[in-house]
Chain A
Amino acid sequence: GAGVSQSPRYKVAKRGQDVALRCDPISGHVSLFWYQQALGQGPEFLTYFQNEAQLDKSGLPSDRFFAERPEGSVSTLKIQRTQQEDSAVYLCASFTGSSYNEQFFGPGTRLTVL
């Protein structure tokens, strides 16, 4: 596609539910990031993939958060047993992998946990 797409755009979950957020990166982009952005804050790094390999997951806030990219393209961020503090916008970004290139961000998924 022309850009990074994410689905759903909005998700409301009851506390304790599991959610799955999807990211379709730009075709050919080997690198993919997930970020969490709270209201009025900058994006916070969660995890990074190069192709299907998850090279850095140091930003995942707890073991309830899990990300995968099994075929090196589409990625899914899963949050188990959601808590109210998980409410945020989850941004996905992709880039070609060269040291210069900027990341292209998707529109984000706004997650609200009630």
Chain B
Amino acid sequence: GQNIDQPTEMTATEGAIVQINCTYQTSGFNGLFWYQQHAGEAPTFLSYNVLDGLEEKGRFSSFLSRSKGYSYLLLKELQMKDSASYLCAVRDTGGFKTIFGAGTRLFVKA
């Protein structure tokens, strides 16, 4: 079956660091994506991992361990505008079908 788990909500303080975890069990794997979605808006791409390890892009980093079926998104120097839902998604093999988790709502407080 297909299953992607991530925490429902997290709260963090402006300027701090937060780590959002994602575990997945999918029938195939052809890469893991993180998307950001502000309320009422479309998801926007943050990162892509297909090999194990850490990918860094500015204030955002994403880590993948394929053997553990685990990824995390790390957000540094949090800003109020980072308050949003963060979606973990796995692309299936044999095509481009992408399975999304339910998302983690992050609240950044002053």
Q: Which residues of A contact B (CB under 8 A)?
A: 4, 31, 33, 35, 40-45, 48, 55-56, 58-59, 91, 95, 97, 99-100, 102-108
Contacts and interface: CB of A to CB of B under 8 A. Distances in A.
Interface in B70-109: 87, 89, 95-103
Contacts of B100: 35, 42-45
A43 B97 contact: no
Nearest to A41: B102
B76 to A, nearest CB: 21
A95 B89 CA distance: 15
B65 interface: no
Contacts of A108: 42
18 contacts: A4-B42, A40-B102, A42-B4, A42-B87, A43-B100, A45-B98, A45-B99, A48-B95, A48-B97, A55-B95, A95-B96, A99-B30, A100-B31, A100-B48, A100-B50, A103-B98, A105-B42, A107-B41
Given A45-B97, A99-B50, A102-B45, 9 more contacts: A31-B96, A40-B103, A41-B103, A45-B99, A48-B95, A100-B31, A100-B48, A103-B45, A104-B45
Contacts of A104: 45
A20 B54 CA distance: 42
A72 B44 CA distance: 24
Interface of B: 4, 30-31, 33, 41-45, 48, 50, 87, 89, 95-103
The majority secondary structure among interface residues of chain A is: loop
A48 B96 contact: yes
Contacts, number: 55
A42 B95 CA distance: 20
A108 B37 CA distance: 12
Contacts of B4: 42
